[in-house]
Amino acid sequence: MATFFGEVVVAPSRAGLDEEEEAREETPEDREIRREIEKKRYRQRRSGASGWRAGKGSSPRGEIDVLWTWRSGGCGEEPLVCSRFIVAIGRNAAAFLSSFILDSVCWEVVGVVKLWNEWCRTSSTTNVLPTDSFCLFYRLIADPTVLLCQCSCYVAEDQQFQWLEKVFGSMQKEGLQVTILSTCPVADYKTQESTLTLASPFLKALKTKEFQEQLCCPLLEQPNIVRDLPAA
């Protein structure tokens, strides 16, 4: 339970259940919908990506792959040492990073997320290039423990847990500070004031109780919430 509104807490989720337990709780309708989505993505991927081949570990479920430039693969590698991880989710947040942070020679592309769903079809190549994906990782050259992620692509609801699991599974958790940047329409902002009088754009924050630093903006007021991948 949150000690104050605006604090991010971990809620119970079925996303982390193993497949056997999840299968027991699924209804026949759930299973049918999931199978249809999987088949549709698989057909779109086979017909829409020229030269696409089902490589090792590929499946019709449209799994997410995280590729790093300095890693050769293998499960025995040490977790990535990371002190600060800034994630910009959505086109506006990604554009903000490009305009005010990445517009210099201080950053290098070090990773990419490959995924495939109804609204996002990234390249099947293994080269880590900005043209290959809409979800890129950058490393600060002066301090390699600082990473940025531009995620301007759509991550479907059934892919969000896998995205988090694979991205954060590559990093050490101790001493890691994560900052999420995202946007939403002013019309969705709930307030007693008229949205016509609000200065736009404006910035609000949510934080966990572990974050002890000074906030750069006020906390998000009730009953506003965040959704989708930023909430996950």
pLDDT of 125: 46
pLDDT of 10: 63
Let me know if residue 231 belongs to a domain: no
**133 or 74, higher pLDDT:** 133
Q: Which range has the worst mean pLDDT, 1-15, 81-95, 122-136?
A: 122-136
Question: Model-level pTM?
Answer: 0.69
Let me know if residue 137 belongs to a domain: yes
Q: Closest Cα to residue 116, out of 168, 164, 67, 153? A: 153
Let me know if residue 222 belongs to a domain: no
Which tokens go with 19? 């497949």
pLDDT of 143: 93
pLDDT of 54: 32
pLDDT of 87: 95
pLDDT of 56: 35
Query: Which domain covers residue 135, as residue numbers?
Result: 62-70+78-121+129-187
Instruction: For residue 114, give the CATH number of its domain.
Output: 3.40.50.10900
Q: How many residues does the chain have?
A: 232
Let me know if residue 47 belongs to a domain: no
Q: Which range has the worst mean pLDDT, 128-132, 144-148, 171-175?
A: 128-132
How many whole angstroms separate alpha carbon 114 and alpha carbon 67?
8
Let me know if residue 99 belongs to a domain: yes
How many whole angstroms separate alpha carbon 43 and alpha carbon 60?
8
Let me know if residue 15 belongs to a domain: no
Residues 21-62: tens digit of each pLDDT: 555 577 877 777 777 677 666 665 555 443 333 333 333 345
How many whole angstroms separate alpha carbon 212 and alpha carbon 200?
28
Let me know if residue 140 belongs to a domain: yes
Let me know if residue 105 belongs to a domain: yes
Number of domains observed in the structure of the chain: 1
Chain centroid to Cα 181, Å, comes to 10
% of the chain residues with pLDDT over 90: 19
For the cut 90, the answer to whether the pLDDT of residue 182 exceeds it is yes
pLDDT of 21: 52
When the pLDDT of each residue in the chain is averaged and rounded to a whole number, the result is 76
- Element of type H or E holding 140: strand 135-140
From first CA to last CA, the distance across the chain in angstroms is 17
Q: Closest Cα to residue 109, out of 80, 72, 144, 69? A: 69
**Max Cα–Cα distance, the chain, nearest Å:** 55
130 and 69 Cβ atoms separated by less than 8 Å: no
Residues 94-138: tens digit of each pLDDT: 888 888 888 877 899 888 888 777 666 555 544 444 444 578 899
